[in-house]
């Protein structure tokens, strides 16, 4: 048990240290200046220098991602319910959704930016939503439509309403699939937010900070942003994991 815990903490930390050391060595060996490539040791000063910008922009990126994801959860779940409970709606909407999902969102950004010109917050949230609702819809729809008839029958045979069956059985039963999709969706929403911040620069969010680093050939700043993005992404992901433990922890098989 103790050995296990040590292994779980020490080995990844070691791996990270080795990775950073190789990176540092490589940049030093090639003799690259900071306008060509950044070494790990350059990142902290860059971060510290722009720490206020980091804080402001990280917040911008974070709240837009969370709002976009929240929209994706609400609308994705409603769409999934409609498709999962009605064969007709499933047949009608499925091809449309697949097509919608297949469109690369980078091409949507300029369209959205043109339609809602100047509405930066709205645009960003919209793209974060559009890129992330699909997996949620599909997982909820599949979870509901594959419910074994016996599960329905045990309550229906007692005269329970459709809503009761949904609330007591169908909904909790789809939670593991829902959280699986949410883990994918949270990363996608994050990508969506940054996409808008980089492609349609409006001077807000970590994406725009990255872009200003790019324009100035400031590699330490760009890499510092990347690492900040990675940390933010990890934090969001593990928040979802924590929620999953709380609401769908029962689905986890305990080692026996």
Partner 1 sequence: MTNLIEIEGVSHAYQTASGPLPVLDGLTLSVPEGRFCAVVGPSGCGKSTLTRLIAGLMFPDRGEVRLNGEVVRSPRKSVGMAFQNPVLLEWRTILNNVILPLEIVAPRMPRSQREDRARELLALVGLEGFEDKRPSELSGGMRQRASLCRSLVHKPDILILDEPFGALDAFTREDLWQLMHRLRAEEPFTALLITHDLRESVYLADQVVVLSGRPARTQFVLDLDLPGPRPIEMLYTTQSVEWLAQLRAQIEIAQGRSDTGGHAR
User: Minimum distance from CB of 244 to partner 1 (Å)?
Assistant: 13
Using CB under 8 A, pick the residue from 70, 172, 201, 233 that binds partner 1: 172
Give the contacts of 211 (CB within 8 A, at least 6 positions apart): 197, 198, 201
Using CB under 8 A, pick the residue from 158, 163, 215, 255 that binds partner 1: 158
CB 228 within 8 A of CB 54: yes
User: Minimum distance from CB of 80 to partner 1 (Å)?
Assistant: 19
Determine if 175 is a binding residue for partner 1 (CB under 8 A): yes
Candidates 18-26, 46-54, 125-133, 248-256: pick the segment binding partner 1 (CB under 8 A): 248-256
> What is the end-to-end Cα distance of the chain in Å, rounded?
15
Q: How far is CA 27 from CA 21, 30, 234, in A?
A: 10, 5, 26
> Considering beta carbons, is residue 52 or 150 the nearer one to partner 1?
150
Candidates 170-178, 194-202, 206-214, 227-235: pick the segment binding partner 1 (CB under 8 A): 170-178
Query: Which residue has tokens 């330490």?
Result: 220
Using CB under 8 A, pick the residue from 99, 150, 215, 255 that binds partner 1: 150
Determine if 157 is a binding residue for partner 1 (CB under 8 A): yes
Under rule CB under 8 A, how many of the chain's residues touch partner 1?
Answer: 22
Determine if 253 is a binding residue for partner 1 (CB under 8 A): yes
Q: What is the DSSP string of 82-124?
A: HHHH-HHHHHHHHHHHHHHHHS-HHHHHHHHHHHTTT-HHHHH
**C-alpha torsion angle, residues 167, 168, 173, 178 (rounded to 10):** 30
> Considering beta carbons, is residue 1 or 246 the nearer one to partner 1?
246
> Considering beta carbons, is residue 169 or 199 the nearer one to partner 1?
169
Cα 196 to its chain centre, rounded Å, is 15
Q: Which of 43, 202, 68, 224 is nearest to 131 (CA)?
A: 68
Using CB under 8 A, pick the residue from 53, 89, 169, 191 that binds partner 1: 169
Binding site for partner 1 (CB under 8 A): 148, 150-151, 153-160, 164, 168-169, 172-173, 175, 248, 250-251, 253-254
């Amino acid at each position: 048990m103790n050995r296990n815990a040590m292994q779980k903490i020490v080995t990844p930390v070691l791996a990270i240290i080795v990775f950073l050391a190789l990176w540092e060595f490589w940049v030093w060996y090639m003799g690259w200046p900071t306008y060509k490539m950044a070494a790990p040791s350059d990142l902290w000063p860059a971060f510290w220098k722009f720490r206020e910008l980091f804080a402001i922009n990280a917040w911008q990126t974070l709240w837009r991602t969370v709002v976009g994801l929240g929209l994706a959860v609400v609308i994705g779940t409603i769409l999934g319910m409609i498709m999962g409970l009605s064969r007709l709606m499933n047949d009608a909407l499925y091809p449309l959704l697949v097509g919608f999902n297949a469109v690369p969102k980078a091409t949507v950004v300029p369209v959205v930016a043109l339609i809602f010109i100047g509405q930066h917050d709205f645009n960003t949230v919209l793209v974060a939503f559009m890129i992330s609702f699909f997996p949620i819809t599909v997982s909820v729809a599949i979870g509901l439509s594959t419910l074994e008839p016996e599960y329905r029958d045990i309550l229906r045979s007692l005269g329970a309403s459709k809503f009761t069956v949904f609330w007591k059985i169908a909904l909790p039963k789809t939670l593991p699939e829902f959280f699986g999709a949410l883990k994918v969706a949270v990363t996608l929403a994050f990508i969506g937010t940054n996409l808008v911040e980089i492609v349609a620069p409006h001077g807000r969010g970590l994406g725009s900070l990255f872009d200003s680093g790019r324009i100035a050939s400031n590699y330490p700043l760009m890499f510092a942003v990347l690492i900040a993005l990675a940390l933010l992404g990890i934090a969001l992901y593990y928040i979802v994991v924590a929620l999953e433990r709380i609401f769908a922890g029962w689905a986890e098989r305990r080692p026996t």
